Amino acid sequence: MTGFAWNAAKWLVVFLLSVGAAAQANPVGFDDLVLKADAAREQNDPAQAIELYRQAVALKPEWPDGWWFLGLLQYGTDSYPEARDALTHYIALTPNAGPAFALRGLCEFETGDYAPSLNDIERGLSLGAANQPRNEKILRYHEALLLTRSGYFEIALQKFAFFAGGKVPNPEFLVGIGLAGLRTPLLPKELRADKQDLYMAVGSAAFHFLSGDEKTAQQEFQDVLQRYPTAANVHYLYGYLQFPRDADAGIAEFKRELDITPASAPVHAMLAWGALIQNKSAEALPYAERAVAEDPALPTGQLVLGRALLETGDVTGGIEHLQKELQLEPNNLEAHLALVKAYSKSGRKEDARRERLLCLEIARGEDAPVARP
């Protein structure tokens, strides 16, 4: 298990995710096995219960609750590959079982299967696996870690914001926020020991900012910058956090970041975005072009370049880059809204109408989960 404190409550998670068994037509000897397995589980004898549930599902593979209890018990005894496989059988029989997807995702996290882990945890959350507050915290935390490791740093920061306002978390949690903030695709346990202090300090500053304690956050960011003046992405993170409330302050930090990381696509994209919201499309264009040149797969880069081209009169070029953005983020409302304007300008009325309808669906929350490349 990870060192995160909530995982010490593993058995509580198992209890909160538990479901009851259903009576079905049974083969000879099956009922006796179930009675013995249930008794062993209730008497906290997981080894005996696991063996009996194994025998029961061998007799009756279509019995979903046997696979469920088997997976729960194996998870509780750190038998993560076996628990994952048992839960896979359960999901095949009950395909909309949110808790099973979530628990399988936690098993995959422990076995290092990070991409399927993220998919399963997100699927579990969408199916109601977070009904209990403690379960939600554990799942949201792992989701944020996995998003960071997969390179979805801004989304990870949004997920970490779920925890804002509570007491300051433990060091591993702060390192996790720091990894997202400094755009480092690692888990806390994968970070070198000599980097821990930097990432923990950045995580603490970001946590205080997200919690609304901007005075403490400002002091902590200044302390970090004094101790680590050449650390990449510290200015970017501080600017990114400030930008929604104070665009000028955010832009100033982005420009400071360029002195440290002059070839940063995210920084150039945010500078372009800042110019666009200030109606300075001509100023935005070179920043946007740099962002796309540095990282063509950065969705924000494609979006700001499409917007900048559109606003400076290149409608065809704007459409091209807005469409590229939607290949990366199919449900990005900003890109769809920009395409409405672009298609209208180019006389493509049906395309503009289609985009308006898509905007309405997305705004109503009727869209599918956002696809990631």
pLDDT in tens, 173-194: 999 999 999 999 999 999 999 9
Average pLDDT, the chain: 91
Answer yes or no: do 175 and 277 share one domain.
Answer: no
Range of the domain at 372: 264-373
With tokens 């409608």, the residue in question is: 315
Distances (CA, A) of 365 to 152, 248, 328: 21, 31, 19
Total domain count, the chain: 3
Q: What is the distance in angstroms between the CA of the first residue and the CA of the last residue of the chain?
A: 28
Report the alpha-carbon distance of residue 109 to residue 13 in Å, rounded: 15
CA 169-4-135 angle, 5° bins? 90
Measure the CA–CA gap between 177 and 175, rounded to whole angstroms: 5
Share of the chain above pLDDT 90, in %: 86
Mean pLDDT of 115-121: 98
Non-local (6+) Cβ contacts of 330 within 8 A are: 370, 371
Residue 297's CATH number: 1.25.40.10
Neighbours of 4 (CB within 10 A): 18
* 143 shares a domain with 40: yes
Residue at 254: amino acid letter: F
Q: How many CB atoms lie within 10 A of CB 199?
A: 25
Asked which of 262, 292, 327 is the last residue of a domain, the reply is: 262
Which residues have a Cβ under 8 Å from the Cβ of 162 and sit 6 or more positions away? 140, 144
Model pTM score: 0.87
Upper half-sphere CA count for residue 68 (Cβ side, 13 Å): 24
- Same-domain status, 89 and 215: no
Place of tokens 């494609």: 302
Put residue 212 in one of left, alpha, beta given phi > 0 → left and psi -120 to 50 → alpha. Answer: left
Query: Same structural domain for residues 124 and 198?
Result: no
Q: Which of 150, 183, 208 is the last residue of a domain?
A: 150
Q: What is the pLDDT of residues 131-164, one digit of tens each?
A: 888 889 999 999 999 999 999 999 999 999 999 9
